[in-house]
Amino acid sequence: MDQKHKAGFVNIIGNPNVGKSTLMNAFVGERLSIITSKAQTTRHRILGIVNGDDFQVVLSDTPGIIKPAYEMQKSMMDFVKSAFEDADVLIYMVEIGEKELKDEDFFNKIIHSKIPVLLLLNKIDKSNQEQLEAQIDLWKSKVPNAEIFPISALENFNVKEVFDRILQLLPESPPYYPKDALTDKPERFFVNETIREKILLNYDKEIPYAVEIETEEFLEDTNIIRIRSVIMVERDTQKGIIIGHKGAALKKVGIQAREDLEKFFGKQIHIELYVKVNKDWRSNAYQLRRFGYNQ
């Protein structure tokens, strides 16, 4: 192994919807993490890996920080807590106009962090110079231990500068994952997340939060991948809404998911979706383990 190889872990934390997943995808160059304008889009910790000849940056996207209201959210916050324990660099993302982190404990951990903190002030495409300067001053005083970078994750502005700074901060180390790896998550995970994204986009109100996806079959052939996934809901009424009149709503989700998955895997996709009622999957600890929240 080259002596000068650098490798390490970068954890991205911040309030919901500030743009954490958008940034991670900008770094990795793939839509690993699903992105929507709704809070709680990201439920798991997702690793994204950026490889170069002499570096490997392992980024971890976390769910936005929220106050846990039920079992699933508690476990989501455990993912966030672990972000403080195994990082070489901490990215704390805030967006223009935001004033504080929703959780005081987390905020205290950030300002007392022994790990270098890069504070990314995101969405500057939505601000003017005066507002930006005021925000930089505000965050300098709130988090004196951080280096501040104004960025636009969406428009890829200043993202490369942040990445270069990360490379400087990483320790010399051999890679942690194979150098052709993009993520630590199995293929089925991306299928589940893609379907969940389409559900978030197509249904209103409480439906997306009552849903969990399980991919039962993922059969890869030379030219085609055959997928069968279950959409788990909590009540019969939700099942009806997901399916829609003559199955039209579910069909739309299937078509949209297939289009994205064909791009992601670079193969033809055959996808079969069906809906099952599984009462209270959200608060049942056994079920949560099964879906991978407590691992």
Give the residue numbers of the binding site for GTP: 14-21, 61-65, 122-125
Nearer to K ion, 33 or 135 (CB): 33
Nearer to Mg ion, 8 or 14 (CB): 14
Contact call for residue 62 and K ion (CB under 5 A): no
* Cα–Cα dist 214/230, whole Å: 5
Write the interaction track for ligand GDP spanning residues 69-108; mark x where CB under 6 A is met and - where it is not: ----------------------------------------
Contact call for residue 194 and ligand GDP (CB under 6 A): no
Contact call for residue 15 and Mg ion (CB under 5 A): no
* Cα–Cα dist 211/238, whole Å: 9
How many positions of this chain bind ligand GDP (CB under 6 A)? Answer: 20
Nearer to ligand GDP, 16 or 175 (CB): 16
Structure tokens at 19: 């743009």
Structure tokens at 175: 């890679």
Q: Which stretch binds K ion (CB under 5 A): 10-18, 127-135, 149-157, 283-291?
A: 10-18
Long-range contacts of 24-33, Cβ-Cβ distance < 8 Å, separation of 24 or more: 24/48, 24/59, 24/61, 26/153, 26/156, 26/159, 27/57, 27/59, 27/159, 27/163, 28/59, 28/182, 28/183, 30/182, 30/264, 31/260, 31/264, 32/61, 32/182, 32/183, 32/185, 32/190, 33/61, 33/193
Nearer to Mg ion, 20 or 258 (CB): 20
Four-residue CA torsion sign, 295, 6, 10, 265: negative
Contact call for residue 37 and ligand GDP (CB under 6 A): yes
Cα separation of the two ends of the chain: 32
* Choice from 9, 13, 41, 194 touching ligand GDP (CB under 6 A): 41
Contact call for residue 35 and ligand GDP (CB under 6 A): yes
* Choice from 11, 22, 33, 41 touching K ion (CB under 5 A): 41
Phi–psi pair at 264, nearest 5 degrees: -65, -45
Q: Which does 6 bind (CB under 5 to 8 A by kind): Mg ion, ligand GDP, K ion, none?
A: none
249 to 174, 199, 208, 230, 270: CA distances (angstroms): 48, 10, 13, 15, 18
Q: Which stretch binds K ion (CB under 5 A): 14-22, 23-31, 201-209, 218-226?
A: 14-22
What is the residue whose two structure tokens read 């788990």? 232
Contact call for residue 116 and ligand GDP (CB under 6 A): no
* Cα–Cα dist 127/125, whole Å: 6
Nearer to ligand GDP, 126 or 263 (CB): 126
Q: What is the binding site for ligand GDP (CB under 6 A)?
A: 16-22, 35-37, 41-42, 64, 122-123, 125-126, 152-154
The residues binding Mg ion (CB under 5 A) are 20-21, 42
